Amino acid sequence: MSVRIGFLRAVNVGRSRRVKMSRLVTVCQDLGHRDVWTFVNSGNVVFDARGARASVEATMERALEDEFGFECTTFVRTAAQLRTAMDAKPFTLVATDTYFVTFLKKPPSATAAAALQALSNDVDTLVVRGADVHWRMHGKSTDSTLSARDWTNAVGALTTTSRNVTMLTRLLAKIDAR
């Protein structure tokens, strides 16, 4: 078994896509995952599991949709994969920058990676590293000029979820402390 982190796309951001973290834990335990716990209320679940990432994701997505009644696209990374993403540091940050990692299901094609990186502009910088996109915004995330449509045009619908690096750093610290 290895420590995995499941990042659920677009939950607890509106009224209709609500996921109670206690129910998320129960669903994961019912799938046979061990040492299940959540981190912040935005659809981050940590657990021990075996199996290929795609299989774990697909099984979780079906179980979560059955439980909550809506599509629940899930992106799974091992703790080691998350640490590698966090160690990448593809750009220099200043105090006013915001930095996200956007998770993809799989590494994009060369064409899709180029399309993503071509979205970079004076505010947003995108750097593709495998199945992760490092996204620096000069300013707050609300200053970004990129839209959901931009992402969909580059890599398809329901294929990404983003997390702030500050939160990811705290998550890895908690994983390391356990």
Model pTM score: 0.94
Last residue of a domain, one of 23, 56, 79: 79
Q: Are residues 73 and 89 in the same domain?
A: no
Last residue of a domain, one of 62, 79, 96: 79
Q: What is the dihedral of CA 25, 62, 110, 80, to 10 degrees?
A: 30
Residue 138 has what pLDDT?
96
Residue 10 has what pLDDT?
78
Q: Are residues 71 and 139 in the same domain?
A: no
pLDDT digits (tens, 9 = 90+) for 66-78: 998 888 999 999 9
At how many degrees (to 10) do helices 148-155 and 110-118 cross? Answer: 160
Q: CA Rg, the chain, in Å?
A: 16
Domain of residue 53 covers 2-79
CATH number where 139 lies: 3.30.70
Cα separations (Å) of 134 from 15, 62, 128, 154?
Answer: 29, 28, 6, 15
Q: Nearest-CA neighbor of 39 among 163, 132, 166, 174?
A: 174
Q: Above 90 in pLDDT, residue 17?
A: no
pLDDT digits (tens, 9 = 90+) for 20-79: 889 999 999 999 999 999 999 888 999 999 999 999 999 999 999 999 888 899 999 999
**What's the rounded Cα separation, in Å, for the pair 171 and 140?**
21
